[in-house]
Structure 1
Amino acid sequence: MSSIAAVALGTSLLLASASPSATSASGAGEPLATLVGARLVVGMQGTAPSPALLARIRAGRVGGVILMGANVRSAPQVRALTAGLRAAAERGGRKLLIMTDQEGGLVRRFRWAPPAAPADQLGTRTEGAIRKAGRATARALERLGVNVDLAPVADVPGVPDSFIAAMDRGFSTKQARAAKGVTAFAAGLLDGGVAPTLKHFPGLGLATSSTDDAAVRLTVPEEALEAGFVPYRRAIASGVVPLVMISNAAYNAYGGKVAAWSPRVLSTLAGLGFTGVTITDALEPLARTHRVALGQAALRAARAGVDLLLFVGSESSTDAVYDQLLAAARDGRLPRATLEASAARIDELAATYAG
């Protein structure tokens, strides 16, 4: 995808978010069942989609699928897997987001595909070289049938024991250099027709533990967090950010709520000029570390306004969560207007990348 196309995507997402007619056109008259389903990105078991998962996709009860390491055996196997997922979506008259984490280094679901270098090594290269790495990554993912990369990491390590730095996932400890690397890699993914995802807003650079392992709370003032927004500001201004992943950490500066459950965090992101699609981090670790039911964790994120709800656990558990969210939509806890607004953004994203 060219940089012109990337800017066009940003403009169309802005229109979908800001224009009442654009929002209502996408979801008006659509059943609550499919408005809710569009928001779920689910994991799968094994190396081939189950009949139950394919049926859920055909029925519009799933908006996306994430591929993890356990789903991957070889390139031909992945291509067959994604072809089956797409065929099910097409039979239901839909487009499906198929995503993975292909950051580079340790976080790379397809070990044979780029980038082999982790982000901290990529960050030492020129912007042109980083963009080239992003483009090569996108082309490899596109050949596998993947249309969303949950990368790049926009967190800037700011403490000596940052877990982001420990895993070599940040492009630099310098804000400006990190911003260049994040923007260049995202632009490269767009060049190759794959949607990049900046993560984890409003930042995990000051965290010493992973939110997958612990209930992380950052007590620093708002000014300290805003210092880490430089990569987001630059990438958003460059028109290369169709998605942003919201952190599973809690932030005292934003009222003490987990970011994915905080309308204030989402409004802060909008204040940076972002009008695209938001997605949670994996909800199973969030529910476990904060000792809430998975359905409750998902409902809180949906009510806060996060568009896509990401699950990496069992298919049966996400099917149960779907039922809980649908019940919340029917009794008004998830207002139809918010479901339609999310549908407009998600539909635009899927039309652009999952076509």
Structure 2
Amino acid sequence: MYRLSLEGAVSLTKMPQVRIPSFHAVGAAAVLLALVMGVATGEPASAGRAATTPSVRELVGQRLVVAIKGTRPSASILERIRQGEIGGVILFGGNITGPAQLQQLTSALQAAARAGGRPPLLVATDQEGGAVRRLPWAGPTSGASELGGMKSAVIRQQARTAGAALRAAGVNVDLAPVADVAGPGSFLALQGRTYGTSPAVVSAAVSAFTLGLADAKVAGTVKHFPGLGAARQNTDQHAIRIPIGRTAFDQGLEPFKAALATGVPLVMVSNASYTTLDQKPAAWSPAVQRLLRGDLGFTGATITDALDGAAATRGMPLGSAAVLSAQAGVDLLLLIGSEASSEQAYDQLLAAAEAGRIPVASLRRSYDRVQRLKAAYA
């Protein structure tokens, strides 16, 4: 193992010092070269910080969105944030008791990032409407199935009001709206979480919802790309394979295209597999990334659906699922299990990056997309 520094090179160019943690020699050489090139070419700086080149630990850490336990952050979570090992936090109902408590929680999390000289955190939650509202005092009180029958202006206003409540509490990412077109037996439709069975109806509702959130400076997230409306079971508990034909597959893409046209900044990638593209879960599929970025032209950030379920249903460690998603090119990796499990996943991702199994160029592309998202919303 080696511990390398760019101390000499940086002093010659009068740039800030860049340190890289210990890693295998081959991986070290690749990372060292890439980081030197980043200094020389003046790549984009982290949101809210002076121009510096991120370490490998931060290139990896900024990809993680993790769950926390309780209504106050643990000392270990705060330290990991200070160390740059976490880029965002997802909050659930058990983390929230009221507006004042939530604002105190998010302020403490952001203070830890500032104390470590790190970029601000993405603070995310699921505020879809109806039963899926982590902030029970905020809207929309109507679920997606009801919203789908309303005018676009009404949906936008409800999303704007919800976004304002999120923003006031320190939440800057809403993992909504659901852009899936419901098919027969859709588990999402049974839960009242889809806007309808028509691509046109869903497209209009999704566009209005994302625009309303943007009005409140909250990042909307269309999910679950490339479409989960045909799934009859939840991907958190089952390994889902969707064998629909190309025509139905393309129809399911329409709401995502509509959302992209509004400038939605974040797309959540499904854990299902799509035989139209390949046999891999979408979060692990380079073909899905090519569809989203190549065919549809999306330039924003991507996030996985919760990887804990995807890993469990396919009999693999969480860290392995995270590495596969990172290798496929998904920018943000959502981990909703224990704090210990997310820390173990970070260690496995870091080891993969240090060994060169996650290319440095890919790490930097994702890092830059995440920082652009943070600059706009965090």
TM-score norm. by structure 1 comes to 0.91
Residue 235 of structure 2 aligns to a residue whose secondary structure is coil
* Alignment match of 1:268 (pick from 291, 313, 318): 291
Q: Answer whether contact 1:24 1:340 (CA < 8 A) is retained.
A: no
2:232 is the counterpart of 1:208? yes
Partners of 2:246 and 2:303 in 1: how far apart?
22
Partners of 1:237 and 1:143 in 2: how far apart?
27
Partners of 2:342 and 2:357 in 1: how far apart?
19
Q: Answer whether contact 2:187 2:234 (CA < 8 A) is retained.
A: yes
Partners of 1:189 and 1:301 in 2: how far apart?
27
* Alignment match of 1:112 (pick from 137, 142, 147): 137
Partners of 1:223 and 1:213 in 2: how far apart?
28
TM-score norm. by structure 2 comes to 0.86
2:249 is the counterpart of 1:249? no
Partners of 2:76 and 2:95 in 1: how far apart?
16
* Alignment match of 1:282 (pick from 302, 306, 316): 306
Q: CA deviation at 1:188?
A: 0.1
Equivalent position of 1:51 in the other structure: 75
Counterpart code for 1:348:
R
Equivalent position of 2:204 in the other structure: 180
Q: Answer whether contact 2:124 2:175 (CA < 8 A) is retained.
A: yes
Percent of pairs with identical residues: 50
Decide which structure has the larger Cα Rg and report it.
2
Q: Answer whether contact 2:64 2:333 (CA < 8 A) is retained.
A: yes
2:259 is the counterpart of 1:259? no
Deviations 1:186-220 (A, max 9, x none): 00000001000000001111111110121111111
Equivalent position of 2:180 in the other structure: 155
Counterpart code for 1:113:
A
Deviations 1:18-40 (A, max 9, x none): xx999943488321000000000
Equivalent position of 2:219 in the other structure: 195
Q: CA deviation at 1:260?
A: 0.2
* Alignment match of 1:323 (pick from 323, 326, 347): 347
More displaced 10-residue stretch of structure 1: 217-226 or 277-286: 217-226
* Alignment match of 1:125 (pick from 141, 145, 150): 150
Counterpart code for 2:133:
R
Q: Answer whether contact 2:130 2:140 (CA < 8 A) is retained.
A: yes
Counterpart code for 1:200:
H
2:121 is the counterpart of 1:102? no
Deviations 1:310-336 (A, max 9, x none): 011111111111111111111100111
More displaced 10-residue stretch of structure 1: 184-193 or 73-82: 73-82
Q: Answer whether contact 2:67 2:336 (CA < 8 A) is retained.
A: yes
* Closer, same or farther: CA 212–114 of 1 in aligned 2, 3 Å: same
Q: Answer whether contact 1:40 1:62 (CA < 8 A) is retained.
A: yes
Partners of 1:48 and 1:257 in 2: how far apart?
38
Q: 1:10-49 maps to which residues of 2 (within 5 A)?
A: 24-26=43-45, 29-49=53-73
Q: Answer whether contact 2:127 2:174 (CA < 8 A) is retained.
A: yes
Residue 88 of structure 1 aligns to a residue whose secondary structure is helix
* Closer, same or farther: CA 23–334 of 1 in aligned 2, 3 Å: farther
Q: Answer whether contact 1:237 1:273 (CA < 8 A) is retained.
A: no
Counterpart code for 1:315:
E
Query: 5+ residue gaps in structure 1?
Result: 1-19
* Alignment match of 1:237 (pick from 244, 261, 267): 261
Residue 250 of structure 2 aligns to a residue whose secondary structure is helix
CA RMSD of aligned residues (A): 1.5
Q: Answer whether contact 2:210 2:262 (CA < 8 A) is retained.
A: no
Partners of 2:165 and 2:366 in 1: how far apart?
29
Partners of 1:117 and 1:59 in 2: how far apart?
40
Equivalent position of 2:168 in the other structure: 143
Task: For CA contacts below 8 A with separation 6 or more, give which structure has more relative contact order.
Answer: 1
Q: Answer whether contact 1:24 1:341 (CA < 8 A) is retained.
A: no
Q: Answer whether contact 1:23 1:344 (CA < 8 A) is retained.
A: no
Q: CA deviation at 1:273?
A: 2.0
Equivalent position of 1:90 in the other structure: 114
Deviations 1:166-200 (A, max 9, x none): 01111121111110000001000000010000000
Equivalent position of 2:15 in the other structure: none
Deviations 1:54-94 (A, max 9, x none): 11111110000000111111221111100100111111222
